């Protein structure tokens, strides 16, 4: 009887265990079913809406909203993990976002950031952050970054959903246009999703950008630099992330980026932001055999220097030049000279590193040229304690010890009153 009692108890526990396990599987299966149902419903809506309409430009035919975005984000996260991406911890993710994008994000928050756009036809609409354009989504709920994707961008639906793919042949293009333009006459042509050949490029983009943002992964940096270098350049150009010499070099080497944009930005409050990291990269890349970065930074000083005869040409050539005050231009010159002066002292005499210093003046050429027409430049620099820049401070101190550059009557620093030409005449 005792054995039978324990046997019955054992059977009961086993039954309960099986029941609980079964409930767990049912719950998991229900979640998976719901997720699959959501994907199917959203994919159906996007296919039925059509891919895009062409006419006076191109417009996407389906407008993504927040619920659509969240469904797609989960699908993206699943794909990232299948490719080996390890979701970072909250603290690690938020720290990297702060470092790279310069913003504070709260756990669970989703932020939409607009990046620079080379296509003037695409305009970011803050009221519709999920529209196609240069937008990066910071998802601090799933701890990933993403871009706006439609499901056919990240699902080979012709294989995964063959019945839906077959149903596309029944889509009425004219009805799509009637719905999109409220029945008004139009000259647009509808293109369906089945015209687009599926590629996993977007999934690769998503994987590598997350690997780089979260882990500074070298392999992913190389993939991005070879396939979508603009996304890396925008981290500097839009968000002033200047702590990666590799990105800085990409920007410096891009002839389509203006000289001002390579070295100067503004924060979200409009305050001048000198890209000190880019100047550091200039220092690292400059060698006796490579002078182009020295010359590029010298050109920045020439551009910022006040010369009455060239001001109008500068304003016409560089639209952003007009946004700079003279004091800001002096500030920029100071930082550039702080980088250039040690390189000049080290390499002067090498090709591209200034004229040979025959008169032992010891001042980098572009700085010498800058204060000859703009006497207020040195005044601003000294008034601001050389902006606490060590190399510039050392240079100004050396200039003050050179009697040739000092006004003997009032003791002010006036190097423009002496020149090699005057010395030769004497």
**Predicted local confidence at residue 121, as pLDDT:** 42
Q: Which of 5-9, 110-114, 222-226, 403-407 has the lowest mean pLDDT?
A: 5-9
pLDDT of residue 425: 52
pLDDT of residue 289: 93
How would residue 130 be classed by pLDDT, with cut points 50, 70 and 90? confident
pTM of the prediction? Answer: 0.86
128 or 240: which leads in pLDDT: 240
Looking at 111-172, list the stretches that DSSP marks H as alpha helix, in order from N- to C-terminal side. Answer: 151-154, 157-160, 162-167
Reported as a single tens digit per residue, the pLDDT across 102-118 is: 999 999 999 998 876 55
Q: What stretches of 57-131 adopt beta strand conformation (E)?
A: 57-60, 110-114
Q: pLDDT tens for residues 299-329?
A: 999 999 999 899 999 999 988 888 999 999 9
Residue 20's pLDDT band, with cuts at 50, 70 and 90, is very low
Q: Which of 30-44, 80-94, 219-233 has the lowest mean pLDDT?
A: 30-44
Domain layout of the chain by residue ranges: 11-208, 242-425
- Encode burial over 265-293: b for 16+ CB neighbours within 10 A, e otherwise: beeeeeebbbbbbbbebbbebbeeeebeb
pLDDT at 28: 44
CA gyration radius, the chain: 31
pLDDT given for residue 346 in this prediction:
95
Whether pLDDT at 334 is above 80? yes
Residue 148, token pair as written in the block: 């706006």
Instruction: Give how far Cα 335 sits from Cα of 268, 275, 338, 400, Å.
Output: 21, 9, 5, 19
179: pLDDT strictly greater than 90: no
Mean pLDDT along residues 37-42? 94
- How would residue 128 be classed by pLDDT, with cut points 50, 70 and 90? low
The predicted structure's pLDDT at residue 68: 95
Report the pLDDT value the prediction gives residue 421, as an integer from 0 to 100: 61
What average pLDDT does the structure give for the chain? 87
Give the residue with greater pLDDT, 140 vs 177: 140
Q: What does the block give as tokens for 261?
A: 């944009």
């Amino acid at each position: 009887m005792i054995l039978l009692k324990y046997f019955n108890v054992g059977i009961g526990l086993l039954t309960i265990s099986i029941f609980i396990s079964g409930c767990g599987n049912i719950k998991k299966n229900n979640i998976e079913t719901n997720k699959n149902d959501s994907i199917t419903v959203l994919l159906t809506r996007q296919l039925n809406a059509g891919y895009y309409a062409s006419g006076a430009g191109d417009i996407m035919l389906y407008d993504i909203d927040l619920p659509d975005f969240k469904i797609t984000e989960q699908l993206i996260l699943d794909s990232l993990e299948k490719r080996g991406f390890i979701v970072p911890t909250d603290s690690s993710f938020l720290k990297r976002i702060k470092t790279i994008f310069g913003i504070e994000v709260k756990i669970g928050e989703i932020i939409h950031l607009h990046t620079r756009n080379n296509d003037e036809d695409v305009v970011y609409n803050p009221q519709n952050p999920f529209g196609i354009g240069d937008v990066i989504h910071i998802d601090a709920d799933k701890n990933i970054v993403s871009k706006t994707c439609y499901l056919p961008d990240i699902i080979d639906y012709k294989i995964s959903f063959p019945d839906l793919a077959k149903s596309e042949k029944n889509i009425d293009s004219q009805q799509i246009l009637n719905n999109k333009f409220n029945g008004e006459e139009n000259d647009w042509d509808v293109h369906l999703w089945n015209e687009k050949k599926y590629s996993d490029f977007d999934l690769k983009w998503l994987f590598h950008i997350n690997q780089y943002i979260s882990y500074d992964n070298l392999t992913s940096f190389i993939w991005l630099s070879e396939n979508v270098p603009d996304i890396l350049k925008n981290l500097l150009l839009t968000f002033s992330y200047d702590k990666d010499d590799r990105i800085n070099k990409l920007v410096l080497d891009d002839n389509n980026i203006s000289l001002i944009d390579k070295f100067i930005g503004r924060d979200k409050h409009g305050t001048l932001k000198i890209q000190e990291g880019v100047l550091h990269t200039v220092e690292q890349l400059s060698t006796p055999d490579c002078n182009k970065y020295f010359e590029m930074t010298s050109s920045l000083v020439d551009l910022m220097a006040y010369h009455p005869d060239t001001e109008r040409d500068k304003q016409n050539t560089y639209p952003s030049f007009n946004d700079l005050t003279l004091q800001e231009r002096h500030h920029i010159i100071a930082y550039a000279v702080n980088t250039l002066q040690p390189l000049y002292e080290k390499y002067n005499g090498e090709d591209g590193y200034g004229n040979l210093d025959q008169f032992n003046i010891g001042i980098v050429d572009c700085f010498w040229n800058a204060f000859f027409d703009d006497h207020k430049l040195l005044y601003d620099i000294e008034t601001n304690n050389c902006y606490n820049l060590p190399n510039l401070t050392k240079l100004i101190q050396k200039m003050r010890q050179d009697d040739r550059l000092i006004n003997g009557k009032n003791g002010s620093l006036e190097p423009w009153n002496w020149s090699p030409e005057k010395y030769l005449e004497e």
